[in-house]
Amino acid sequence: MTPHPSSPAILIRPAQREDLQAILDIYNDAVLHTTASYDYHPRTLDHRIAWFEDHVAHNYPIFVACNAQHEVVGWSSLSRFHDRPGYRFTCENSIYIAPSWRAQGIGSQLLTPLIQSAQSQGLHSILAVIDASNQASIKLHAKFGFTTVGLFKEVGFKFNRWLDVAYMQKLLPS
């Protein structure tokens, strides 16, 4: 994949078990310092291993972005939207970037293979559940054809304030 003009060369590849600590570190930083996740407490490596194994078992992809030193600087995944069979053609995406690597085009590089994977698996709809104040994520998803389909007012609470959640959706061609 071609790197963003302002970013150094980044390699996007499927995640491996050895990447889980880096994936966990990036996620936990978001938990502690942002509203990208509404978790309050960092997750454990055991939790992340179970998450990874569930993704593998259900054929949901996880990708990592690696810098020139082969360090994981971001990750993305598709996940089940709901476990009821009627929702089996809908998934939810996640994208997290290490703090010092944000705003360098890595999110675009991580979203591309998610969309391609969803299409190749015969999925019909990708949902993005985004903190409504996260304009970078909203713009990223809009650039890839996601449209806002809902805004839920004050459904989250973190950092002593109420948070709105935007739902964005991309319908895939059949």
Q: Give the total number of structural domains in the chain.
A: 1
96 inside domain: yes
% of the chain at pLDDT higher than 70: 95
Check pLDDT > 70 for residue 99: yes
Check pLDDT > 80 for residue 32: yes
5 inside domain: no
Q: What is the pLDDT of residues 52-93, one digit of tens each?
A: 999 999 999 999 999 999 999 999 999 999 989 999 999 999
1 inside domain: no
Burial of 57 (C-beta count, 10 Å sphere; 0-12/13-18/19+): exposed
The pTM of the full predicted model, rounded to 2 decimals, is 0.92
Q: What is the mean pLDDT of the chain?
A: 94
Q: pLDDT class for 8, splitting at 50, 70, 90?
A: low
2 inside domain: no
Strand order in the sheet with 11-14: 11-14, 62-66, 72-80, 90-97, 125-131, 161-171, 147-158
CATH code, domain carrying 24: 3.40.630.30
Cα 48 to Cα 43: distance, rounded to the nearest angstrom: 7
71 inside domain: yes
């004050």: which residue's tokens? 154
Question: Is the separation of the CB atoms in 168 and 148 below 8 Å?
Answer: yes
For residue 70, the enclosing domain spans 11-171
20 inside domain: yes
3 inside domain: no
Q: What is the pLDDT of residues 131-174, one digit of tens each?
A: 999 999 999 999 999 999 999 999 999 999 999 999 999 999 97
- 39, 58, 57, 45: which is closest to 19 by C-alpha? 45
114 inside domain: yes
